[in-house]
Structure 1
Amino acid sequence: MIQQLLKYTAAGCMALALFAACKKSDSFLDKRQTESLTEQMVFADSAKTLSFLTDMYVYTGCDIIHDRYTLITSVVGNDYASFEDMTSHSVSYYSDPQASFITGASTPKNFFSNNYYKTYYIKIRAANQYMAKVKKSPLSPAMQVRTAAEARFLRAFFYSQLVRLYGGVMIVSDTAYDLATPMVYKRNSFKECVDYITAECDKAAADLPSAMEQPAADYGRITRGMCQALKARMLVYAASPLFNGGAISNDPQLQPLISYSSAYDATLWQKAADACKAIINSNEYTLFETETNASARPGYSYWKMFLLRKNSEYIMPYMFSPNTKIEGSRFPVSRGGSGWSTPSQNLVDAFGMANGKATSSPGSGYDPKFPYTNRDPRFYCSVIYNQATVFNNSTKKMDPVDIYKTWQGQLTADGLQAYSTKTGYYSRKMANDSTGRYTNQNRVLPVIRYAEILLGYAEAINELNGPTQEVYNIIAAIRRRAGITPGADNLYGLDAGMSKEAMRGIIRNEYEVEFNYEGHWYYDTRRWKTAEVTENRTIQGMMVTKQQDNTWAYQPVAVLNAVFLYPKMYFCPLPFDEVNKSNDLIQNPGW
């Protein structure tokens, strides 16, 4: 496969162009061609040149898009699942590809990521083409330099996605292969890949404007801050237990492909901390916090952030034209949705209380008879539970959702059995539940936001030095923006004098609830080497029953028996057809 992918013509790459991604028709990211073009035609015309580049931007949203079918139909095929559906956080209405993956039934022939492998290498080849040919285009010299840097970043981004899924992969550098070019078909080491990606981010950053320097009309194009953020993300990832002292294979050929040496190296955390701190010190980004009034919902800033096209927190946005696609894919039928992706009880249990305490902690105030009372406000911004209020287009007001009527496809007088929840919940993360399915939202989606950089820095510092005051301050800031109450001690639910291990648990829980449905959990459970626990247990839902006295009874029920096969499921398998083409292309462990 990869030989053909890396030898695609410009016409082949251009034929993969999809839909426009920005609000205004005159925006840079709207100038995209969908017809088949020759390489000579593309780089002889400035609009077609930019359109060729813009097509690469579309594929940066694979982890966060509400359904991957809309994004990459021509490459992936019929796949309505979100990336979160590949984890214990969510259950897709559609059985595949989640069911075969979650239950451990996948093989290298049918693994869900096979088409990502193809997609990302196609785009890497396109980036190489662009950087090689843009100097022959009619673009101005300044635009040639800037857009070449954008292509360089996009190439690094696609490599980072491959590395997070597969470990070390084949780096083709600047070569845009054609049919006459010989190839050495072999994976690079994990270290080589991380070093290459971070170095490419530095190179791209040198020729790109900061977010503050970027003209408003160029919002969405690659900036220096995006380069720094991708570098920080990769260094936090690489310093984590799966790659740093926790190698899952001692095979001398395989181990370098999936980790650093088997010995733990604290300097990797220092590199991660330094990369995150550089972004913090730039003062270009802040947590989004807006003025609220007494009637505003708890966690208003957290909710509002996802409905804005531009805010102080989004470092790398995935551009989206005004639409109701998230509401349409996630809301229940009674609210004009399809309920494709439904949160699990496993995710719901991760949310603590409004006072910052875990539901199991003494003094949390949690009552299992009223499981949705006084929870972390991020819960109310993320999950539609029984009797949660969501805008009802029929009554034109916020009305409670009767989850019990649509549970597990039960036939009802309302005819709501189609697309009913498998878990007793629906998702509203990044959705507008106050206007509903019928009002377009002028938003974009966050591929990387500042909260990730803050948590990455807190994680790195905690691993190096334990829970310093800096670490406490960062967790408190994130919880404050979420709407957690400060408490009499002003610690936002944190305990004083915590150990490194206790703070590590807090930080990981913050990742889980803060970034739910943003495409993080799959990668986080693997880099922490916790997936063998969190992804190796029953995915649960909540059975809701209405009692004769009009109260509610809640009973956790098994929805899907998740299986995490160690060690194989820590990495995706290289596609079957790929490893069959070369004895030098080593398959990942267990596959």
Structure 2
Amino acid sequence: MKKTVIALALFAGMFASCKKVLDIDNINSYNPDQVWNDENLANAYMANLYSAFGNWSASEDRFSEQLIGIALPKDFVTVTNGNFKSWDYSRVRLVNQALVEVSKGKLSDNARKGITGQALFLRAFLYFNMVKYHGGVPYVKVPQDKDADDLAVPRNSTAECFDFIIKDLDDAIALLPERILSSSPDYGRIDGSFALAFKAKVLLYKASPQFHSSNPWNNADWATAYTVNKKAYDDLKARGYRLVDDYSNIALVERGPETVFPVINQYPSKTAAWDNGVRPGSESRGPASAVPAWEMIKMFPMKDGKRYNDPTSIYFKTDEQFLQSYWQNRDPRFDKSVVWSGKSYPVSGKLGKRLYTSLGIADVQDDFGTNPDAKTNSTNLDRYSGFFILKNSLLRLTQAQVLQYDVDFVYMRFAEVMLNYAETANETGRPAEALDILKQIRMRAGIEPGLDGNYGINATDRATLREAILTERNIELCFEGHRFWDLRRLRLLNRLDGTTKSGVEAIPINTDGSNMPLDVARNKANANELTEVNFKYVLHQVPRSGVKVNTVPATYYFFPIHKDVLDRNPNLKQNIGWADGTFNPTLD
């Protein structure tokens, strides 16, 4: 292929060395000979490939219990639709092109090494995503020519793909700088620390039940995963990575020591839609696209680290008691992740403002409920829950500025590295190491240590500690897009099957418990005088339009390859369980 066409996605400040690219004419189409003899153009080419990492997405957890909505209706995934398909060979070809051409160019040795290391990492990254979806795929390592090459390549086995991924990552680590400091003009590029942490994650997946259905917990891959995950934890810690002191600052204070890899955002060149997706409609450009479900609200532990209905908790409550006081004595991460009716919410820089969601009191773009005293119907019963996401929201942005959200997207942070390590330690008979990690995370969260110093963790064996780690992942990484993939990796999607979701209506009440007249409540709300104790709470199923449940068949542990792809390549085989498929995507 003589010409390479690049839809350039540069943004100010990502790579300081790329700035001169903006001065070059006709940047969207040029000869590879030009690209690989000019360091600025070569870096621009690589910057374009970084789009593979994505950006902030408010609805990333819509397939789990964390957000409302039934995102997995019956037959959501088929062989003919585009849902849960990953076949990124266009980008793979660009990576392979870089690996071939950079060796021919006249770049400096350092530039060549850096670009080669990044390209090797990106190839492993792209193939891992495809393997995570489908199992083994054709692992093509050269830029194929559609006119000269045979494109009907068969699938490599899943085991072969993992071997190739690890080889690419090892080769990348050998070439990349150990760590790119936050003060460096190259901050935002792939470095050896991220590559090592990602390798550890790949090996965690390889060992997990998704790929070992017949021997999920005692297969030999757990030992390898432990060795590399411990190395990633130890090495990154030695290089200065750590948990930030305040959970609120995991992303909002950029370039912090917890960030292992960021996607750099900078207004106006590159922004994200996070705040536009999580704010109530009255403070955004439309209704929130993602709101927490009551089922997720209940999952956050109490201040002592135990569930609200745990009889051993000093904050024990019945279900009804909890419903009427769910905001009290919670894990501090709850207060930093969720906003609810009556809570202080200085959005748009409005100091003293509280959020209200009550029908007849709140702005019609924010309300939720069926209170007959309001003599009107909420238009939000199928899309809201009475809760909104606070985590990583940039509250200083005004409503007019909500699309200017440019907080760096934290693709991987040290807390995930720690939890990956904890999981492999537990599965290889090292519960003390796993428990120590959980304690560190809960200590940072602000959970009370308790008399036993275990921060509410009651794990007496491998299985209960496994569950404690999964629970901690759910809370610590909430709304960051991990939950569905964790359940799938552990073959626990049955926890989603048949589930409904709920929201909570807040109805204003007088001190004697009687309903407060809405005109009185409205005046108090306008003055931000109503707090959580001035409401009673009622559960509603969401969405309310008919009875809908999540349907999650066992075949979702490996998604099918699209029929169009199979039709174009007769040498490809479909996965077992899909349309007479014969390919085994597991490592069994």
TM-score of the superposition, structure 1-length normalised?
A: 0.81
Deviations along 1:141-198, one digit per CA (max 9) or x if unpaired, are 2201211111110111111111111121111023444421113422111111111111
Aligned to 2:80: 109
Give percent identity, aligned residues only: 24
Between the aligned partners of 1:428 and 1:23, the Cα distance in structure 2 is 27
Q: Determine whether 1:342 maps to 2:303.
A: no
- Name the residue aligned to 2:4: 10
CA RMSD of aligned residues (A): 3.1
Distance 1:485 1:525 in 2: 28
Give the match for residue 424 of structure 1.
386
Q: Distance in 2 between matches of 1:344 and 1:521?
A: 14
Could you tell me which residue of structure 2 aligns to residue 557 of structure 1?
541
**Number of the residue aligned with 2:423:** 459
Q: 1:443 to 1:463 in 2, by over 3 A?
A: same
1:30 & 1:107 partners in 2: Cα distance? Answer: 46
Match of 2:165 in 1: 197
Question: If the length of structure 2 is used for normalisation, what is the TM-score?
Answer: 0.82
SS of 1:305's partner is helix
* 1:523-542 paired onto structure 2 within 5 Å: 523-542=485-504
Distance in 2, matches of 1:55 and 1:8, equals: 19
* Offset of residue 84 of structure 1: 1.6
What is the SS of the residue equivalent to 1:200? helix
Corresponding residue SS for 2:30: coil
Which is greater in Rg? 2
Relative distance call for 1:388 and 1:315 in structure 2 (3 A) is: same
In structure 1, what is the Cα distance between the partners aligned to 2:20 and 2:388? 32
Residue pairs, 1:172-321, within 5 angstroms: 172-211=140-179, 216-244=184-212, 246-247=213-214, 265-282=218-235, 283-290=238-245, 301-321=246-266
Opposite residue 136 of structure 1, the aligned amino acid is K
CA–CA distance in 2 between the matches of 1:284 and 1:380? Answer: 31
Any idea what SS the aligned residue of 1:446 has? strand
Check if 1:508 corresponds to 2:470: yes
Q: Residue 368 of structure 1: CA displacement?
A: 2.5
Aligned match of 1:473: 436
Contact 1:383–1:428 (CA under 8 A) maintained in structure 2: yes
Instruction: Please list, as runs of the form range in 1=range in 2, the aligned pairs for 1:408-423 lying within 5 A after superposition.
Output: 421-423=383-385
Inter-CA distance 29–10: structure 2 relative to 1 (3 Å threshold): same
Q: Larger RCO: Structure 1 or Structure 2 (Cα < 8 Å, ≥ 6 residues apart)?
A: 2
> In the aligned structure 2, how far is the partner of 1:127 from the partner of 1:390?
45
After TM superposition, give the deviation of residue 353 of structure 1 in Å: 1.1
Contact 1:160–1:197 (CA<8 Å) still a contact in 2?
Answer: yes
The answer to whether structure 1 residue 383 and structure 2 residue 338 are counterparts is: yes
Distance change (3 Å), C-alpha of 1:414 and 1:136: farther
Q: 2:16 maps to which residue? A: 26
The answer for the alignment partner of 1:488 in structure 2 is 451
Rounded Cα–Cα distance in structure 2 between residues aligned with 1:21 and 1:518 = 23
Render the CA deviation track for 1:504-538: whole Å, top value 9, x for unaligned. Answer: 11100011111112121121111111012234412
CA distance in 1, matches of 2:436, 2:113: 40
* Residues 328-337 or 185-194, more deviating: 328-337
Please name the residue that 1:70 is paired with: none
Unaligned regions of 5+ residues in structure 2, if any? 510-514, 517-533, 579-588
Letter of the structure 1 residue corresponding to residue 461 of structure 2: S
Q: 2:63 aligns with which of 86, 110, 119?
A: 86
Q: Secondary structure at the match of 1:90?
A: coil
Equivalent position amino acid for 1:490 in 2:
G
Deviates most, 451-460 or 375-384? 375-384
| Letter paired with 2:16 | D
Partner SS for 1:129: helix
Q: What residue in structure 1 maps to residue 310 of structure 2?
A: 361
Amino acid paired to 1:140:
S
Which region of structure 1 is more displaced relative to structure 2, 547-556 or 220-229? Answer: 547-556
Alignment of 1:445-456 (within 5 A): 445-456=409-420
Other-structure match for 1:168: 136
1:212–1:180 distance in 2 versus 1, CA, 3 Å: closer
Deviation at 1:28, TM superposition (A): 4.4
Q: Are 1:156 and 1:200, in contact at CA under 8 Å, matched by a contact in 2?
A: yes
Deviations along 1:71-118, one digit per CA (max 9) or x if unpaired, are: xxxxxxxxxxx32223332246xxxxx74x44433322223233x42x
Q: 1:216, CA displacement in angstroms?
A: 1.0
Q: Do 2:358 and 2:368's aligned partners in 1 also have CA atoms closer than 8 Å?
A: no
Retained in 1: the 8 A contact 2:341–2:506? yes
Structure 1 pair 214–24 and aligned structure 2 pair: CA distance change class (3 A): closer
**Post-superposition offset of 1:40:** 4.0
Aligned partner of 1:104: which letter? D
